[in-house]
Structure 1
């Protein structure tokens, strides 16, 4: 994509204000509201805010022991527009433009604590080898009436009734909220988010929308980040909440963010395709890398206290470190279909994640495996929950410890990002101990 210009502003003279926003480590948009006259200046000169802003905890508070705060005088970073440029914000009443930005040092170096730069760093490893990841994500979310402490399915605008249970792949469930989904697809088109199929899922009021594959991991992560923002904002316009938290209901499955990827060489050939159902040795290497780093990267795939309520056996979320062909109980699935589309589906991440960090963790681990020419164990068959297999960390503290001591993670993420994320999660882990499960749901419902 070309550098962003002011063309969007000229094409949308009705726009009243803009938002300039970057993604923090928890995936939360952080930034500024500006009048239209300031928009041109942001495009040319960027804007500034403290580097510590991208390293806040889930409550939006400073990290107490972070050197980014008092030790450095809470110094500013410079933020410039990404190549996405302006996108509309259809969930707001007044016409508004959103300008995604990312952070740099004063001398122009990328700020390593910015999660978008973390993904760019991994993408550069592929570019250096003449390779291009082709990436898509599937995002699950819940529509929730949170007007009382008792979370429940919103009333259907069509029937005036509430669903009493889950309805997997139910057309009726989709049609009950047809106005919302119609507006959602219109908004995705306006924001250039490639939304594809929508289905109803296994949870109460749970839905999934797939985004189309794109040959640019940064674009894929941008799409996911903007999509989450859009769904949550638009749902509020309709009088209910949309939540990507991993597990809002004890009795129903949680929400995931499954990531699919293949890799093209400089000629546009899928390097996972051997013309048959098994895939190439490079596919095996990438799978091995993903499996090797999976336990140590679980903190990225399950970043919150509530995330671990989803990762339990028999709940449609993978808990075993294994891979398989066409098997949704495995953490790493190789879907069937035309060989030219041979790809890896990584199924561990919850819906509550930072898309930039998740794609960096997945693609970085796969590249580790490709570079090392490693081979995975044999693919499993049958139900992974019934087999004696290595398990993903089952609690937040274990995941933090594995991330901190990992030999794999430093090959994927910078020292700065690793340090910042660990400080953030340790502070959140400490403070979350004082909250009841209901209070935890309250903080996560809208935030993640």
Structure 2
């Protein structure tokens, strides 16, 4: 409420929660009713957290007709009110998450699923520290096929990728200046921006957070901000995994370390190798990868990215300072020893992604799973076990995974696979262009 008092120009509020696809679901509320919202929360059906990518009910979902499509209670997270700088009218966003009417967390909510994983770490006296790197394309989608928008500075379109090009960044300087100002206003810790290998492709790193829920919130809000701000500039921004067949796709790499009760990094052995606990965490991540691929590649388009020689991993292996690996141990000072998970596309739900990574690492720590030896050289030329190569195979692996059953509440496992099977069925009737148009805005 203090934020709203400081911003009397705000007349409307958006309340929003992330569904299983990471799509924001919520309501528009006049600001004069904010106190009631703060005191009582708001309500919408449990089934809203389990809609498919078109925003439709999942057929035969037990959340709909079987139990009468009842309401859940949506309460504010601790994020508080945030500005929405991409809208013309002064507007505030209030992130919310779902509970039962008696106050119990609703375990079909992806943010609640991540909170449960974080709580398991707390019981052991451990605290994960998480950072994400988000890639996205700026796209002119006004024609039949997506292409790079013209630079507001020169009016020209760049037809190729320009890795680490200042010229490519400067071409959209006003957009990036406003993006960083908006991140500051929304408490999103945006750090370095670079141009990437695809035409109109960029990456922005978000700083590490000692609270994984904050890290997931940051990534979810950042995606919403980038897409909204791009539209206000007359073009689109997309985190879809593979907008262009001939160019690399969008990833969302995640770095994490784990601190003990004293604040010491449990992966740090004083040298470059890392501790037994680092290797056990890697072992858990590798063991869980077949089942968790659906979390990291949740859509039909996701599997166009996970192909050999396309700067995205296909094999289940790990290595030191090697960007062809699914699990990479970056070069760093010993105190910053960490694990980088490189499988996820930009089209993921950040809450499910971080829960899957931290949950798998925790299984590795609990079971003391020893990974195979790290490989050297090009992962695509190694004889490594392979990630599921199709959407259908990933759904089946997710449904039968013991690791997934240990990481996620049963309701998430059931609802997510039902959602994906429905999408798989109906996506078969869509052309590639129709799929691209769908994913460009939604993911």
Following TM superposition, by how much is the alpha carbon of 1:37 offset from its aligned partner in structure 2, in angstroms? 1.1
C-alpha deviation, 1:148, in angstroms: 0.5
SS of residue paired to 2:66: coil
Measured in 1, the distance between the counterparts of 2:36 and 2:312 equals 46
In structure 2, the partner of 1:212 is 207
**Structure 2 gaps, min length 5:** none
1:269 aligns with 2:241: no
Q: CA deviation at 1:106?
A: 1.2
Shift of 1:43: 1.1
Q: Are the equivalent residues in 1 in contact too, given 2:239–2:347 (CA < 8 A)?
A: yes
Q: Secondary structure at the match of 1:297?
A: helix
Tell me which residue corresponds to 2:252: 257
Match of 1:353 in 2: 348
For residues 399-447 of structure 1, the C-alpha deviation after alignment (integer angstroms, 9 at most, x for no partner) is: 0000011111110001000000011000000000000100000100000
Q: Which piece of structure 1 moves more, 307-316 or 39-48?
A: 39-48
1:413 partnered with 2:411? no
Residue 353 of structure 1, CA deviation:
0.3
> Does residue 79 of structure 1 match 2:74?
yes
What CA distance in whole angstroms lies between the structure 1 residues aligned with 2:61 and 2:369? Answer: 37
- Secondary structure (helix, strand or coil) at the match of 1:295 reads helix
Aligned with residue 279 of structure 2, among 278, 284, 306: 284
For residues 177 and 164 of structure 1, the distance between their equivalents in structure 2, rounded to whole angstroms, comes to 15
Aligned partner (choices 103, 109, 124) of residue 108 of structure 1: 103
Q: Distance in 2 between matches of 1:226 and 1:39?
A: 21
Counterpart in the other structure of 2:363: 368
Tell me, what secondary structure is at the counterpart of 1:199?
Answer: strand
Q: 1:26 matched to which residue of 2?
A: 21
| Structure 1 gap segments, 5+ residues each | 1-5
- Is 1:118 the counterpart of 2:113? The answer is yes
**Is 1:302 equivalent to 2:286 in the alignment?**
no
Q: CA deviation at 1:308?
A: 0.1
Distance in 2, Cα, partners of 1:243 & 1:39: 32
Q: CA deviation at 1:107?
A: 1.2
CA–CA separation in structure 1 for the residues paired with 2:35 and 2:143: 43
Is it true that 1:161 corresponds to 2:139 in the alignment?
no
> Would the aligned equivalents of 2:11 and 2:32 in 1 still touch at CA under 8 Å?
no
8 Å Cα contact 2:125-2:260 kept in structure 1: yes
Give the Cα separation in 2 of the matches to 1:267 and 1:408. 29
Partners of 2:260 and 2:171 in 1: CA distance = 44
1:16 Cα deviation from its structure 2 partner = 1.4
> Which of 369, 379, 389 is matched with 1:384 structurally?
379
Cα offsets for 1:262-302 (capped at 9, x unmatched): 00011110000001000000000100000000111000000
CA distance in 1, matches of 2:146, 2:221: 25
Give 1:240 deviation, angstroms. 0.2
CA distance in 1, matches of 2:93, 2:146: 31
Which residue of the partner structure matches residue 124 of structure 2?
129
Give 4+ residue runs of structure 1 displaced > 2 Å after superposition.
none
SS of the residue corresponding to residue 262 of structure 1 reads strand
The 2-side partners of 1:253 and 1:198 are apart by: 18
Q: Which residue is equivalent to 1:439?
A: 434
Q: Which of 30, 53, 56 in structure 2 is aligned with 1:58?
A: 53
Which residue of 79, 92, 96 corresponds with 1:97?
Answer: 92
Instruction: Measure how far apart 1:41 and its partner are.
Output: 1.1
Equivalent residue, structure 1, for 2:175: 180
Question: TM-score of the superposition, structure 2-length normalised?
Answer: 1.00
Shift of 1:38: 1.4
The CA distance in 1 between the partners of 2:146 and 2:15, in whole Å, is: 33
Q: Give yes or no for the alignment of 1:393 onto 2:388.
A: yes
Distance 2:8 2:125 in 1: 42
Answer yes or no: is the 8 Å Cα contact 2:293–2:398 preserved in 1.
yes
Partner residue of 1:426 out of 409, 416, 421: 421
Q: Which residue of 1 aligns with 2:41?
A: 46
Q: Structure 2 CA distance, aligned partners of 1:305 and 1:261?
A: 28
Deviation (angstroms), 1:237: 0.4
Supply the distance in 1 between the matched residues of 2:88 and 2:67 (Cα, whole angstroms).
39
State the superposition RMSD in angstroms: 0.5
CA deviations on 1:45-98 (whole Å, 9 max, x unpaired) are 100000000000000000011011111111000010000011110000011110
Q: 2:260 & 2:78 partners in 1: Cα distance? A: 23
Provide the C-alpha distance between the structure 2 equivalents of 1:447 and 1:123, rounded to a whole number of angstroms: 28
